[in-house]
Amino acid sequence: MLHLGEVPNLSSVLRHFRGQRILVIGDVILDRYWWGEASRLSPEAPVPVVRKQRATVRPGGAANTAANLAALGATPLLVGLVGTDRESGELQGALLENGVAVDGLIRENARPTTTKTRVIASHQQIVRVDEEDLAPISGEAEGRALVVIAERLESVTAVVVSDYAKGFLTPSLLNFVTAEAGRACKRVFVDPKGADYTRYQGCFLMKPNRLELSVLTGLPVRTHEETLAAGNRLSAAMPGAMILVTEGADGMTLFADSRPVEHLASAPRQVYDVTGAGDTVLATLSLAISAGASYRHAMELAGEAAAIAIGTMGTATVTLPQLEAAWNASVRPSTGTEK
């Protein structure tokens, strides 16, 4: 926890959130929620009968990352793939409501918009139904995406890649992003998916959780000690890239080449729903570093934002006033005895 004398630097960083333009590239998802009550079991099968009361939609995946960036005061430029179905319209409407422009979305006629429908009863998720096509996007759609990315790259502060393995982020598209971002001196922050870490070579920072780190390294990652072993292995395999592992209740750990490993513990939190918390961490972290925060301060801000997100049922965005209030509440006055 920081001392009171350190607050002005972070306050300055938070003020600079509003000047950042972040290019977000990845798998966009429509998160649909059906809310209701379950008071009995079905006579047809041992499952609850949910009486639906209302429905809501939220941007998910890379769209949630973009929505979090907008809520924190930045200007996200979102590039992703949608269909031409009703769900595409719902997702675009949800994005516009969250202050995210939709003109960077690539439409493909034969492909459904990735949709996750969650049924919630008594604050518990009963079931999730996914509608998706996991095949790689067509060459024609990829070509259109590359044009949009190239047009926007020069005007942004940083690039965020949100990979949900839904087919949009092909190897050639990822190679183009890291190569062009490198030439433009733009940092690339990645939320990875799958076992092939070489897909993300050239990135500035990769943010796996424990499960993703296990898949990337082939090592068990169930404890902080196992995180250290696997994180060091992945860091060695990706020289020049920082690896930030989110560890749930155990906080997060940063691996950065020859620098000492840095761990940030997590305070006890009330957890209602972890959906989208990784998107919130990625958005806050990339924005804080782009606004001039130290890596440690960026981790602390990302941790505060994640705590807000998991305290909300359903996919959530964290606003700049919420983050500022949480940060100020976490700061204690110095007693004058600390070194």
Do the beta carbons of residue 113 and residue 60 sit within 8 Å? no
232 vs 209: CA distance, rounded Å: 14
Token digits of residue 69: 């960036």
Query: Which amino acid is it at 194?
Result: G
Cα–Cα distance list, 32 to 23, 29, 58, 118, 227 (Å) = 25, 9, 6, 6, 33
270 vs 251: CA distance, rounded Å: 14
Query: Which amino acid is it at 113?
Result: T
Catalytic residue among 27, 191, 273, 279: 279
Half-sphere exposure of 194 (CA within 13 A, CB side): 15
Cα–Cα distance list, 119 to 91, 150, 289, 298 (Å) = 18, 39, 37, 34
Please confirm, yes or no, whether 163 is among the known catalytic residues.
Answer: no
Phi-psi region of 210 (alpha: psi -120 to 50; beta: other; left: phi over 0): alpha
Token digits of residue 310: 């998991």
Place of tokens 């959906």: 275
120 vs 125: CA distance, rounded Å: 4
Query: Which amino acid is it at 168?
Result: F
* Catalytic residue numbers, as ranges: 279
